[in-house]
Structure 1
Amino acid sequence: MQRKKLSHQANLSAADSDLFRQSVSGARPLLQDKIAPVSVTSKKKARPSADLPANKQDLFFFSDGYEGFISDGSLLSYVQPGDDPRLAGRLKRAEYQPQVVLDLHGLTQLEAKYELAGLLAYCQQQQFNCACVVHGKGLGILARKVPNWLIQHPNVRAFHTAPKSWGKHGALLLLLKINQSEAELHR
């Protein structure tokens, strides 16, 4: 490809050319005329790493292969065998108020399992007997997994789909055993 010769050079007078040279006589060439791109920080919330060390004792109770809870509708309800069967109804009527809320939105199954184990350990440590776990609706993956994990833990007395004020079908209210020693917990 050939360059076109500029015809405007012929149109410049000698006086204009001298004037231009005088005006740019003190100019120096730039060392760099490019601006380095600036990395834009993401506004997304950073996810916790699933590789965080967790107490393996807390995860001991959760098996992904166990599917002991089958939902028979939109309301989830469970009472540990041998406990008061009216506990689920009391949770449904919000007679117990959660002392702590765990939101699992956006977490993977593994991250959710770690967080749930951490919540149950925290409730045991703080002597909280009621908690709310918000799993969300979404594709329903956590909505199916969380109840199966909860019925495996010996500290969970009962759970029920949360009332509207706590998340309705996207959340569970848990009733937990308290004042249990570590030795009894891992028997």
Structure 2
Amino acid sequence: MQRKKLSPQARLSAEDSDLFRQSVTGARPLLQDKIAPVSKASKKKARPAINTPQNEQHLFFFSDGYEGFVSDGGSLSYVQPGDDPRLAGRLKRAEFQPQVVLDLHGLTQLQAKAELAGLLAYCQQQQFNCACVVHGKGLGILARKVPNWLIQHPNVRAFHTAPKSWGKHGALLLLLKINQPEFELRQ
């Protein structure tokens, strides 16, 4: 590396150089007080703990091998056998408003299954009867899996492709059974 040559105007005069030397006389070097840099924590998302006993209990209802629902490419619609057949139409017309929304974008099948099980357990705990699951369009993997998982769960009464305001073909509106808490009659 070459040293830069200073122009004649940029050079210090002898008087300025002497003044500088006088002002720094008696100065001593500073001790090293710098802290070595520490590597930052990784920004990777933490993997959810899927194999906990509570999650295993909720995942019990979902089998990946079950193919009970075949899409014809249009709107998805399902009503549990023995329930009111008009429920799917009511979901289609948005007569029920979801109280909670679950977005599955960017999740793997295993993560999506765990999140869906968690949503259904949460709805049961909070006594929510309507939910929206946004699975997205993408390659259609979750769009095919989510309906098959939902059919297997005993608390899912019906589902239908969500109206445009809730995601249209990339989402489902669910209608769920709510187990009413039993109140003991004390006399």
Asked if these proteins are the same fold (TM beyond 0.5), I'd say: yes
Question: Aligned residue for 1:185?
Answer: none
> Residue 120 of structure 1: CA displacement?
1.2
> Residue 71 of structure 1: CA displacement?
1.4
- Are 2:30 and 1:62 aligned? no
Segments of 5+ residues of structure 2 without an aligned counterpart are 6-10, 182-187
Secondary structure at the aligned position of 1:55 is classed as helix
Change (3 A) 1:145 1:47: farther
- Are 2:142 and 1:142 aligned? yes
> Residue 147 of structure 1: CA displacement?
0.9
* Segment drifting more, 108-117 vs 168-177: 108-117
Query: For 1:179 and 1:12, how far apart are their aligned partners in 2?
Result: 89
CA contact (8 A) 1:158 1:175 kept: yes
Aligned length: 175
Query: For 1:27 and 1:144, how far apart are their aligned partners in 2?
Result: 75
Indicate the percent of aligned positions where both proteins have the same amino acid: 85
Q: C-alpha deviations, 1:86-105, integer Å up to 9, x for none?
A: 22111101112222222222
Query: For 2:97 and 2:14, how far apart are their aligned partners in 1?
Result: 91
> Residue 151 of structure 1: CA displacement?
0.8
Coordinate RMSD, CA, aligned: 3.5
Secondary structure at the aligned position of 1:125 is classed as helix
Listed as ranges, the matches of 1:11-30 within 5 Å are 18-30=18-30
CA contact (8 A) 1:50 1:110 kept: no
> Residue 13 of structure 1: CA displacement?
8.7
CA contact (8 A) 1:132 1:171 kept: yes
Counterpart amino acid of residue 85 in structure 1: P
CA contact (8 A) 1:58 1:118 kept: yes
Question: Aligned residue for 1:98?
Answer: 98
> Residue 59 of structure 1: CA displacement?
0.9
Counterpart amino acid of residue 25 in structure 1: T
Counterpart amino acid of residue 92 in structure 1: K
Listed as ranges, the matches of 1:21-60 within 5 Å are 21-32=21-32, 36-37=36-37, 47=45, 49-51=47-49, 53=52, 54-60=54-60
Query: For 2:30 and 2:68, how far apart are their aligned partners in 1?
Result: 73
Question: Aligned residue for 2:111?
Answer: 111
Q: C-alpha deviations, 1:54-77, integer Å up to 9, x for none?
A: 332211100122222221114211
Question: Aligned residue for 2:123?
Answer: 123
Query: For 1:17 and 1:103, how far apart are their aligned partners in 2?
Result: 69
> Residue 17 of structure 1: CA displacement?
6.0
* Segment drifting more, 161-170 vs 96-105: 96-105
Change (3 A) 1:48 1:134: farther
Question: Aligned residue for 1:159?
Answer: 159
Counterpart amino acid of residue 58 in structure 1: H
Change (3 A) 1:139 1:32: farther
Segments of 5+ residues of structure 1 without an aligned counterpart are 182-187
State the TM-score, normalized to the length of structure 1: 0.74
CA contact (8 A) 1:100 1:131 kept: yes
